[in-house]
């Protein structure tokens, strides 16, 4: 089998860690491919993540997180392109909570590039506008993870 063919044969699940991004500080994520067309140049995904912030987090006077905050990002994306390089366009929200009784929902959009190499290492670079407290916060995310086959 040619190396080019191997790059196209991707699994249906991703596990990755994201710095910045939808989790605002960081997040551990699971993503499932919900649909792939036959030519594999269009894929629809859904992702859930989780993180815990043990400290007061402030970044460039635009992002604030209180200590002991849980961050739970939920997004859905379209991956467009054939081969290992994909354009990623999506939307979702991140739930911020300290006690799961009170929460803040932060809507977001997602625009980026995803590369899944022959060894199924997944790299994502994203621009993520967050809509929090009536403001648009321009944010970025970098993810590194593993693309795997079917989970039994």
Contact 103, 95 (CB under 8 A): yes
Min mean pLDDT across 6-15, 22-31, 55-64 is at: 6-15
**How, if at all, do strands 63-65 and 42-53 pair?**
unpaired
In this prediction the pTM is 0.84
**pLDDT classification of 6: cutoffs 50, 70, 90:** very low
The overall average pLDDT reported for the chain is 87
DSSP state of 68: T
Q: How far apart are CA 73 and CA 108, in angstroms?
A: 10
Highest mean pLDDT among 7-11, 25-29, 65-69, 148-152: 25-29
The residue among 13 and 116 whose pLDDT is bigger is 13
Residue 127 above 50 pLDDT? Answer: yes
From CA 86, how far away is CA 118, in angstroms rounded?
14
């Amino acid at each position: 089998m040619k190396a080019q063919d191997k790059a196209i044969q991707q699994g249906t699940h991703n596990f990755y860690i994201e710095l910045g991004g939808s989790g605002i500080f960081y997040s551990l994520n699971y993503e499932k491919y919900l649909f792939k067309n036959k030519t594999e140049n269009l894929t629809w995904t859904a992702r859930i993540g989780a993180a815990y912030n043990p400290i007061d987090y402030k970044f460039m006077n635009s992002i604030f997180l209180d200590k002991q905050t849980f961050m739970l990002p939920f997004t859905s994306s379209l991956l467009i392109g054939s081969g290992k390089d994909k354009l990623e366009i999506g939307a979702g929200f991140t739930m911020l909570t300290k006690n799961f009784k009170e929460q803040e929902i932060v809507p977001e959009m997602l625009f980026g590039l995803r590369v899944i190499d022959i060894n199924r290492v997944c790299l994502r670079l994203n621009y993520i506008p967050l809509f929090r407290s009536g403001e648009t916060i321009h944010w970025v995310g970098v993810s590194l993870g593993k693309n795997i086959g079917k989970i039994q």
